[in-house]
Structure 1
Amino acid sequence: MTREHAPDPDSCDAPPAPGWSTTPLTADLLRGALDLERTAHGLLPHRLPARARAQCDDGQLASAESQASGVRLVFRTRATAVELDTLRTRIEYRGAPPRPEGVYDLLVDGQLTGQGGTAGGNVRLVDMTTGSVDFQPGPPGTVRFGGLPERLKVVEIWLPHNEVTELVALRTDAPVEAVPQGDRTVWLHHGSSISHGSNAASPTTTWPALAASLGKVELINLGLSGSALLDPFTARALRDTPADLISIKIGINLVNADLMRLRAFTPAVHGFLDTIREGHPDTPLLVVSPIHCPVHEDTPGPSLPDLSNLRGGELQFRAAGDPAERAAGKLTLGVIRAELDRIVRQRAAEDPHLSYLDGRDLYGEADHAELPLPDGLHPDAATHRRIGTRFADLAFRVGGPLAGPAA
């Protein structure tokens, strides 16, 4: 049952102040989403189209694709104050300390100018020992940014990368107009929770968002936590999405889930690439293998959580497989890197726009010694910055695999 909350000046129930206007939330104000769903509360961005969502009822995928990593409002205005009402849905784990709150990043003419958050919202309370989920509804909230320069400017509000965000209302103290996409290069990226932004500090500091900013490209982030599994519907979403540059980061989730053996992996990668090429026959396409992750370098999955110190705020993951199982075709990160390298080399003979990047060039053994993965699988905020900077340098530099036509 939804909690009642009284209107106040900072609540989304409060009427607009005199001189303020409410702008309808429409597709031309949003970037980074492949689909928009009208809900009882407003507009819910999705990062997979409805047809893809209908083909898989996995709760992990449903949560990941509806979290707004890389999704942002973009508009031109002279407003000095902006308010955005949203209804968030966040995930908490029973018995564990609260997870970090979602952050909204405000950019003015491309520069980070403010950050904020909202209260209220829904909670999906997950019991990691049983897998059960308790849904606790809550009210919408408001994030407000004031003190913006009075000049005409482009404002971007990047939605939290780690929360589902339903957009309820946008209010400003001056009119708003949509900003055409223009001729900026569009980079379409697909990957796992690391690409999604797990443990990044804010939506513009996930490694893909940082790399896009450094590379001066327009990001569409299909990083799907726990769900980079070579699903055909994801390949079709990539195929059907207009883009100038494409990258896919494959591997860790297949080991995490212990989903397939080498016999299935190789044709699945070929099929995934074939599908993308149906819609993007000549687009620069970069295949990226997993970053260094000691627990799964030579040990197959599945990955299992260690809940022994969950109440103390520490969640670790361990590999539950046996290295000897590689002989039976079980996947490790080492096996996956070697096979991805071989597949790309084989295909590149007839596909000159296809390239391979070893994920250890983004984060390798030396990096792990300096910046270890806190839970054994996911990078921290500093490591996101390092990966994003290196990816931009390796992929977007002049002569790089994603340099694009302008270079």
Structure 2
Amino acid sequence: MTATRVLVLNSGSSSVKYQLLDMRDSARLAVGLVERIGESTSRLVHTPLAGDGERREHTGAIADHSAALKAVADELARDGLGLDSPELAAIGHRVVHGGLRFTEPTVITDEVLAEIERLVPVAPLHNPANITGIRTAQALRPDLPQIAVFDTAFHTTMPEPAARYAIDVKTADAHRIRRYGFHGTSHAYVSRTTAALLGKDPSEVNVIVLHLGNGASASAVRGGRCVDTSMGLTPLEGLVMGTRSGDIDPAVTFHLMRVAGMSADDVDVLLNKKSGLVGLCGDNDMREIRRRVDAGDERAALAFDIYVHRLKKYIGAYCAVLGRVDAIAFTAGVGENAAPVREAAIAGLEGLGPVVDAELNAVRSGEARLISPASARVAVAVVPTDEELEIARQSYELVKNMVNA
């Protein structure tokens, strides 16, 4: 197979993030972002990483996703990396929700696209934007394999006791209510990279992955397969997040509707956008929260403690689920950069095996690394996530297998 490049697209409601990678050595050739699509203040930032190209930025109205992707294609062409290149093997699309049907990367056909559309009710904020990006890319390169890589796919290996909610089965099945999980490409990448850090095959390793960004999720991975994860039907369940509450008594919703006169939409906004860290202390940036904690701010300290308490609960629960844990891996913006979070989350869990070395934990690095002493029964790792590389890898492997079949 001579074509080795993959363009990865992550289409949001008003943005497109993209990366072009060469899968011979996983090198990034270009990265970029188009934001505020549909506004007069649209902005495109393009950075070529091969050769001597310099970062370029453009502002001005970009009407829709079609115009955005055409602008991206023009920028790539300026660097000799155009979408018409015979070296382009596929376009890989991040799709947030694949339900139970899509358990692996999938070539996008009309039937596949129709199924992604049928899943819009369980992913109303994400799947419509993903669909728009797919259709736009198909129009630009109808001859090229378009591959969907699903956030939920890695979690489809969860056994039924972990995936089912304890509600009426007929109602649940009729409305596709179950735990799906998200951040799957990150959990897949990080669990596999953690196994490599330990010098083992993923099939030999049990890992707890903590993806801690503005959105946050935990997963229990046994032998390379997810057996439990913290997010559920939607990304609201689980850990305390930047603006999301995470786990909460469902009756809080009924109480607010009855006593506070809030509508379902009001509660939705409260729990998704006005809760979590921002609801507790007014900030959702962990750096600012830690600055406030160090300055003696009691609200920030309480928010930090609640955040860490929830983390500890999930670590302990997943130790029980897995039975044997070989490593705990921190990833994403907070997990990779907030040493105090890592230290606090592991503190007091030494009886379960994990230990953090203070000096190793304090080191800032963009490399995957262990921050536990060699004597620890359970290793603790920091693994920078790379969802774009994971999407590119899965897309390329699928196309290569198709060619060789």
Per the TM superposition, whether the score is higher than 0.5 is no
Higher relative contact order (CA closer than 8 Å, sequence separation 6+): 1
**TM score, norm. by length of structure 2:** 0.30
- Structure with the higher fraction of residues in helix conformation: 2
Please state which structure has a larger fraction of its residues in strand: 1
| TM-score (normalizing by structure 1) | 0.30
